[in-house]
Amino acid sequence: MLLLLPLTILILHLGSAWSNPISSVNVTIWQFGGAHRLVGGISTEPLQAIGTASGGLATTYLYQALTPQVQTVTTGTKNQTLTETVTLTRTMVISASGWIETPAPSVVIQCSFVSGTDGVCFDQTSTASGAAASDVLQVSMPSPPAVTTSFPATLSTPGSSAPASTSPTSTSTLPNSSGSSGSVTVTVRAVGAILLLHVLAMIWIL
């Protein structure tokens, strides 16, 4: 009996972990010839997908780099230096062959493969070509809608002849997941393994 409580807690924990889908993925972009064309910063926010081309061959992302900016503020006869974080926002179109960034309407930065291992990067002022170097960027994925349930507002009491007045008994919104069958299979196998270990532990104790 003492093993039932931790076993139940473990099963509930695993079920909660498997019920939450992956919230982020990564995308790899390539730069060539030692050139670094991406806007740098102390850190970058996860990419946000804002559109996909017909056929899914390219995806447009919002790229945000966090950079420090120093300002001098004069108070009376003293100058005070303040550092704040500024977000630089870019739009990138990423495909298997390369990527294009538009820092401004008239400015285009592009890197693309010209062979299996080499490529070229260029902007308005310079061009670089050579071996590929990868940059892995995190992509933010939208969370699935939460399950919501409403209950009857008025319940009938025993012996009452009046029908119960209720709101919709339950309204649930479930995320549409194409991988539900795989999750169920993994969950069943894991729970079965845990139960087997539990039985073996009880036999060993006896």
pLDDT tens across 119-135, in order?
999 888 889 999 999 88
Residue 184 included in any domain: no
Residue 172 included in any domain: no
Q: Which domain holds residue 48?
A: 24-140
- Whole-number pLDDT of residue 95: 92
Residue 104 included in any domain: yes
Residue 167's alpha-carbon distances to 4, 147, 158, 193, in angstroms, are 39, 18, 19, 43
Residue 165 included in any domain: no
Tokens of 144: 């699935």
Strand runs (DSSP E) across 23-126, as ranges?
A: 24-32, 43-44, 47-52, 58-75, 78-95, 98-104, 107-113, 118-122
Residue 202 included in any domain: no
Q: State the total domains in the chain.
A: 1
**pLDDT category of residue 99 using cuts at 50, 70 and 90:** very high
Residue 96 included in any domain: yes
Residue among 147, 117, 143 nearest 132 (CA): 117
Residue 12 included in any domain: no
Residue 130 included in any domain: yes
Q: For 11-24, what is the HEC assignment?
A: HHHHHHHHHCCCCE
Position 24 pLDDT exceeds 80:
no
